[in-house]
């Protein structure tokens, strides 16, 4: 069974990730225009009409912006925690309730995928990341979290592929143009992960041989730079004497799809 993973976009302007395995395919978040999402899926050689479901991590606009139009084109179940779906229903009352499939924090099965929500800390109703097992392989996505909890660590350990938030450089944020209240939100326990915190988690996982291919995601346009995020991670790995393949640490992009990963 071939698995395909592609971050279609990742950042404050919009987030969406495509995952295909065997006869199953899902979209994780739909945070930009549906027409662009559909085009992006086709551009990577996949078929959006094969989507089985849309998994939603939380209700912020950069994760659900395209949901209404996408469901008109491809009426698939929208899966998320009850609190998240309740907010989406209030925001888009014209979307029929029949589309919504609430979940708790327990593992569930969708086609060839076993999906486990990972509770995260963010200023949303009940946000989650997802860890998805497909015949012994594990793919995990955790972005938009203020800190790395024990639940996050246990949820992503052993991932063959991990998309982890590396949102900002702390000094760029503090010395930039954001007002103090917004800086506090980003730096707070319900905000976003810095490059250094992401690097620490990646180092821990690699030290215990619990990670494979890693994508750095949700990079801030104003408070980060791709080369800075990547260098922060690789420098920490080097300081700790950890061996890794350079091609196994990759960046997602805000304005186009990342390099697609395929597994057998």
Query: What are the chain's domains?
Result: 3-257 (3.60.15.10)
User: What residues contact 206, with CB distance under 8 A and at least 6 apart?
Assistant: 237, 242, 244
**Helices vs strands, H then E, count in the chain:** 9, 14
pLDDT tens over the chain, length 264 residues: 788 999 999 998 999 999 999 889 999 999 999 999 999 999 999 999 999 999 999 999 999 999 999 999 999 999 999 999 999 999 999 999 999 999 999 999 999 999 999 999 999 999 999 999 998 899 999 999 999 999 999 999 999 999 999 999 999 999 999 999 999 999 999 999 999 999 999 999 998 888 899 999 999 999 999 999 999 999 999 999 998 888 999 999 999 999 899 987
Pairing, β 211-217 against β 249-251: parallel
Dist CA 96 CA 99 (whole Å): 6
pLDDT on residue 135 = 87
pTM, entire model: 0.96
pLDDT on residue 33 = 97
Dist CA 89 CA 118 (whole Å): 22
Q: For the chain, what is the radius of gyration of the CA atoms?
A: 17
pLDDT on residue 123 = 98
pLDDT on residue 210 = 80
Dist CA 119 CA 102 (whole Å): 15
């Amino acid at each position: 069974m071939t698995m395909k993973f592609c971050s279609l976009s990742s950042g404050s302007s919009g987030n969406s990730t495509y995952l295909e395995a065997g006869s199953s395919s899902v979209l994780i978040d739909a945070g930009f225009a549906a027409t662009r999402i559909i085009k992006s899926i086709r551009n990577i050689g996949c078929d959006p009409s094969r989507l089985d479901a849309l998994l939603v991590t939380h209700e912020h606009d950069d994760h659900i912006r395209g949901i209404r139009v996408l469901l008109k084109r491809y009426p698939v179940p929208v899966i998320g925690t009850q609190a998240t779906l309740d907010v989406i229903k209030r925001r888009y009352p014209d979307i029929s309730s029949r589309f919504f499939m609430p979940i708790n924090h327990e593992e569930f099965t969708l086609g060839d995928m076993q999906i486990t929500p990972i509770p995260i800390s963010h200023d949303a109703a009940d946000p989650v990341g997802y860890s998805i097992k497909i015949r012994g392989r594990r793919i995990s996505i955790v972005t938009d979290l203020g800190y790395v909890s024990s639940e996050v660590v246990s949820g992503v350990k052993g991932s063959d592929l991990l998309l982890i938030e590396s949102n900002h450089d702390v000094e760029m944020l503090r010395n930039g143009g954001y007002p103090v209240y917004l800086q506090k939100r980003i730096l707070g326990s319900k905000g976003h992960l810095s490059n250094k915190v992401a690097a620490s988690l990646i180092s821990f996982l690699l030290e215990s041989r619990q990670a494979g291919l890693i994508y750095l995601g949700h990079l801030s346009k104003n408070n980060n730079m791709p080369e800075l995020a990547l260098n922060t991670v690789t420098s920490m790995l080097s300081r700790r004497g950890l061996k890794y393949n350079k091609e196994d640490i990759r960046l997602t992009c805000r304005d186009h799809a990342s390099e697609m990963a395929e597994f057998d």
